[in-house]
A and B are shown apart, each in its own frame.
Chain A
């Protein structure tokens, strides 16, 4: 199917396609892990080319689903882990299984749970620690959904996932969200206001009556 897709694209320029969803798991880990569609993100709309080649839903048994980039919920560093391969004039970017799996948590239908089970059975990964690190990288999935969104409940889904995979409960707020936010704050240069408040306090010192021996006492012999 992917070769047919590549053949359907104009050959006068190179293409870079992101293949996500279950297709990379089927390609990389288990050929029997079938899916009805191949989710594809392309910088240019490929719907017309797919339609002309009879690759869209209703045209082919296994069909191509051209998607917008926002359809794949993954951490910012997913391309670092991705597998890149060349097929004729197209470069295919196949996300790492951990990124594929994590992107399924928001929905977590039975088939998505099966994807987790299959990857763990085939590779022994992700371990619990690896999965915690992975979901912390996409911590924003736990934010409230937009009104226009018919999204699942990622917090409840994560707890279901932990029960299914590790036979235990997880406190999503304490074990995933809080540490991830703390790390993010650290990256942004701290969360406190201590430095700025110090300035404020200093400024207030200048107008307050001087205290004898106050180390912050303003000098009077300077301009």
Chain B
């Protein structure tokens, strides 16, 4: 079955975020994350959809999906605050 390249890349991005949550990141994940972050085809919407898709495929609960989403957003918010402009 042919699958859209943006969707495949977004699924990889979602896998990386899931591995981050599980604490099982590998060296190549960092390199891929860097590349995928710059890829215009990998959008916020697709990563979100891919996360939901992967959670469903893995038989994880809907709550787990929301927990991953929340923790990723919260972690990013912390980074944003830490890296924000200082007075």
Contact = CB atoms under 8 A, between A and B. Distances in A.
Interface string B36-65: 111000111111110100000000000000
A73 B35 CA distance: 43
Contact of A196 (B23, B28, B44, B75): B44
A223 interface: yes
Contact of A199 (B17, B23, B45, B48): B17
Contacts of A206: 27, 30-31, 33-34
Contacts of B23: 215
A209 interface: no
Contact of A189 (B26, B31, B45): B45
Interface string A185-216: 00011111111111111111111000000011
> Which of the four size classes fits the interface of chain B?
35 or more
Nearest to A204: B34
A188 B45 contact: yes
Contacts of B25: 202, 216, 218-219
Interface in B64-87: 69, 72-73, 75-77, 79-80
Given A215-B23, A216-B20, A219-B25, A198 B72 contact: yes
A189 B30 contact: no
Contacts of B34: 199-200, 202-204, 206-207
Given A199-B13, A216-B20, A194 B45 contact: no
A201 B44 CA distance: 14
B72 A194 contact: yes
B40 to A, nearest CB: 10
A70 interface: no
Contacts of A192: 44, 73
B47 A202 contact: no
Given A195-B51, A216-B25, A190 B45 contact: yes
Contact of A218 (B27, B47, B48, B69): B27
B76 A198 contact: yes
A123 interface: no
Contacts of A203: 30-31, 33-35, 37
Contacts of B36: 199
Nearest to A195: B47
Interface in B3-38: 13, 16-17, 20, 23, 25-31, 33-38
Given A194-B77, A200-B33, A206-B30, 11 more contacts: A189-B44, A191-B44, A192-B73, A194-B76, A196-B42, A198-B20, A199-B13, A202-B29, A202-B34, A205-B30, A218-B26
Interface of B: 13, 16-17, 20, 23, 25-31, 33-38, 42-49, 51, 69, 72-73, 75-77, 79-80
